[in-house]
Amino acid sequence: MALKAIVRKHNTHSMTTTSDDCPVPSTGWSGIRDTKYKVELHQYTGIAELKDSFGMRLFDWNRCTSHPLVDKEHWVIGVLGGHPNNDAYLRATEEAANEIKNELKFRPNQQGGRRDAFSSVSIEVSFGGGQQVPGNLAHPPATIDVFQRLFSLVYFLRMAGFANRA
């Protein structure tokens, strides 16, 4: 399959795997935990350990420019979205982070997680963890009020707009 010109322009590296190597259920909507790697919490000591353990390679990325992640068959399987290269956008993300710190109170089970030490709250539609169909997550009315206030702020609208375009 031929890549579009814009993808070829930004594609200087491709992966050594194909989409077919990624385990998914018959529905294709979610991933299956890969059992060939031992599943345990482990903090890696650096890039060399990741390269040795998983055959990863380092990709020099400026975190601004969008870059497609392309498998060896030239299918785009992900995108490094980047961010707008202007101070106003960076200030908006900082203000959004400050609003979250001031408004959200994270319960112990929302602090950290199996992928990193970041606190998070799941909202809206959820699917997985044994659910047979997607469904909306339930929150107390006070928490919903906080979400509605946060999501109406220009900072969040700007980030959501960029993510939608990316």
Average pLDDT score over the chain: 80
pLDDT digits (tens, 9 = 90+) for 102-134: 988 887 877 776 666 778 888 888 877 777 888
In this prediction, residue 99 has a pLDDT band, given cuts at 50, 70 and 90, of very high
Q: Which has more confidence, 23 or 108?
A: 108
Same domain, yes or no: 47 and 115: no
Choose one of 31, 59, 82: the last residue of a domain: 82
91 is in which domain, residue-wise? Answer: 87-165
Do residues 3 and 11 make contact, with C-beta atoms less than 8 angstroms apart? yes
Same domain, 116 and 75: no
| Residues 156 and 123 occupy one common structural domain | yes
Distance, in Å, from the CA atom of 33 to the CA atom of 17, rounded to the nearest integer, reads 17
Distance of CA 40 to the CA centre of its chain: 21
Give mean pLDDT, residues 139-158. 91
The sign of the CA dihedral 116, 81, 62, 51 is positive
How many structural domains comprise the chain? 2
Residues 4 and 54 in one domain: yes
